[in-house]
Amino acid sequence: MIFPEGTCTNRTCLITFKPGAFIPGVPVQPVVLRYPNKLDTITWTWQGPGALHILWLTLCQLQNHVEIEFLPVYHPSDEEKRNPALYASNVRRVMAEALGVPVTDYTFEDCRLALAEGQLRLPADTCLLEFARLVRGLGLKPEKLEKDLDKYAESARTQAGGKVGLAEFAAYLGVPVSDALEDMFSLFDEGGNGKVDPREYVIALSVVCRPARTLDTLQLAFKMYESQAGGGVREDHLSCILRTALGVAQLPVTSLFRAVDEEEKGTITFADFRRFTQLHPDFAEEYLHPEQTRFEGCAQTLSAPSPNGFCTDFSPENAEEVGRMPSHGKLD
């Protein structure tokens, strides 16, 4: 049997299914699980009480019930055979209807991204979670893309800040123009003039591929933005780098830039920035978000699902709640 979510959920929704079971294009047997107990101690998740705690609570109940429902065998259409993602999505819809829960297009990897430890924690209004979803929608795998980050970065650097249109952006990524690509393009087209800077895409991709390695992402960004002579980056460059790395539209960086640029050269190098972060490990809270003592890491509940069944909010504030989701579906 295969648990298609690839992780655990708390049964309030079905998250994105992994494509593995659907790639062969053969019929599958969906099975849904329910635990009609007053206190659910059956499932174990990647956050929350430990396994021994769960075992003890289970033994404290005289009876523990589980319902297993075998749904009709799902035979894929020709289109679903050609498109495993569509096949997975349609099977998930059938299972969600049987369970009476909504679906969400976010994944365990999105939760890891939102909760990644590092000197730059993603804020609540980040668009990088949407960016990560679109990367998957284009069939691009972050684990493979990570190996090509340097190649993408060098290509973006040679353009020296030159911007590209949608067709050029598609050629840069090696994918056809599609609705998902247009959505991704719009994330970087802030001015709405039909042009984007590929350096911003590389920074966002680096964050998605290695969310906890903040300095690696910043070092890559400095290489792309500094002059060919290696003279460092200006304040406006630093603003663009950090806004893209955090996935926000506005970010005050003047005080941070001046603190790093002690010699008032008007530019800073990555070596300057790294030395500063070693002396000020909490620089993000001190200089970028001085009104906040820290980024909050959890919330009490998930947002209510929107009418179409998709969650309307997924941020670092509710990511830990997603992490406490025990699984309830499987495929034979």
Look over the chain and give the mean of its residue pLDDT values, rounded to a whole number.
78
Helix (H, G, I), strand (E, B) or coil at 331: strand
Positive or negative: CA dihedral 207, 112, 271, 255: positive
The residue extents of the domains of the chain are 30-109+323-331, 122-288
Q: What is the pLDDT of residue 191?
A: 76
As a whole-number percent, the residues of the chain with pLDDT over 70 amount to 80
Question: What beta strand segments (E) does the chain contain?
Answer: 30-34, 67-70, 329-331
Q: What is the pLDDT of residue 32?
A: 94
Helix (H, G, I), strand (E, B) or coil at 14: strand
Query: Rounded CA gap, 138 and 143, in Å?
Result: 14
Query: Rounded CA gap, 312 and 183, in Å?
Result: 17
Highest mean pLDDT among 45-59, 110-124, 179-193: 179-193
pLDDT, tens only, 306-332: 333 333 333 444 444 444 334 445 554
Q: What is the pLDDT of residue 253?
A: 87
Q: What is the pLDDT of residue 47?
A: 67
CB-based contacts of 283-292 (< 8 A; 24+ apart in sequence): 283/119, 283/256, 284/119, 284/120, 284/121, 287/253, 287/255, 287/256, 287/259, 288/242, 288/251, 288/252, 288/253, 288/256, 289/123
pLDDT, tens only, 10-62: 778 888 898 889 999 999 999 999 988 888 787 766 667 788 888 888 898 88
| 95 vs 191, residue with greater confidence | 95
Among the residue ranges 16-25, 143-152, 258-267, the one predicted with the least confidence is 143-152
Pairing of strands 329-331, 67-70: unpaired
In sequence order, the β-bridge partners of residue 32 are 69, 329
> Rounded to an integer, what is the distance from CA 61 to the centroid of its chain?
38
Q: Does the pLDDT of residue 300 top 60, yes or no? A: no
Cβ atoms of 58 and 64 closer than 8 Å: yes
The residue with tokens 């792309």 is: 224
Q: What is the pLDDT of residue 53?
A: 87
- pTM, whole model, 2 decimals? 0.65
Residue 50 burial (CB < 10 Å; 0-12/13-18/19+)?
exposed
